[in-house]
Amino acid sequence: MMHLMSPLVSARELAAELAGPRPPLLLDVRYRMGGPPGRETYDEGHIPGAVYVDLEAELAGPPGPAGRHPLPPPGAFGEAMRRAGVSAGRGVVVYDGWQGWASARAWWMLRRTGHPDVRVLDGGVDAWEGPLSTDTPAPPPGDFRPEPRVRGLLTADEAAVLARRGVLLDARAGERYRGETEPIDKVAGHIPGALNAPTTQNVTPDGTFRPPADLAARFAALGAVPGAEVGVYCGSGVSAAHEVLALAVAGVEASLYVGSWSEWSGDPSRPVATGPDAG
């Protein structure tokens, strides 16, 4: 079944679907930058039936010149998803437990490589009201084979052009965008022409997404409206996937620069802007 209205599912809706005749496959993508390891959190308790997926091992390739979380090879990604039980004919719901970034990355990768039915649990595991399980399921292998070409993917050069021609959003915190601090990457600042739109402003205090109309108004103020050419980047292509998801909730299609600032700032030939303005 295609879910055209929203890429999100509420905890109550998910509970009803899991009890129905065609339950979706659950993927637990819990990840927290700097630890603790998501697998340990999963083992302590997860939504019953959920299969753990490791963001750094299965949703990203090794860090290097292409950034901290580059895309994995299509073959390796497909193998990991089939091992988790992902099939093209069965809906998938992904969730995590920290800001929704990792689940958005899984959603983006599956959707942009051809899976027709992927949604994110709004609010993550914290929104789940049912019991948790410590059983580790062993799903039968799936049949999902990702398309070799990832749709909606920006290179560094394409991001640079988009910043001038369309709307390029920087999803990092304001102080990193302005270049006041840079705790991770080599250089502080932002891609010239990019506009700051922190991911943290996509959600309410309880971690669920803001209503679609609120998100649409937020992004429209930045020029990101339906039909516009919109791209997003962050530090390493994870929190920016959350912004792409928020834009989708608002009815705006956007591309993702996966290499993001970790790739851009690693190349000394690329220009850097600082301060509150796009530059």
Instruction: Just list the catalytic residues.
Output: 234
Give the Cα separation of 38 and 94 in Å (integer). 14
Phi and psi, residue 209, nearest 5°: -70, 145
Give the Cα separation of 203 and 180 in Å (integer). 24
**Are 254 and 162 spatial neighbours (Cβ–Cβ below 8 Å)?**
no
**Are 80 and 12 spatial neighbours (Cβ–Cβ below 8 Å)?**
no
User: Token pair of 57, please?
Assistant: 């091992």
User: Token pair of 255, please?
Assistant: 């591309």
Q: How many residues does the chain have?
A: 279
Output the DSSP codes for 184-232: SSSS-SB-TT-EE--GGGGB-TTSSBPPHHHHHHHHHTTT--TTS-EEE
- Find where tokens 């599912």 sit: 9
- Strands laid side by side in the 8-9 sheet: 8-9, 118-121, 92-95, 25-28, 51-52
**Are 246 and 143 spatial neighbours (Cβ–Cβ below 8 Å)?**
no
Nearest C-alpha neighbor of 233 from the set 130, 154, 175, 132:
154
- Find where tokens 């302590």 sit: 44
Give the CA-trace dihedral at 244, 246, 248, 250, to 10 degrees.
-140
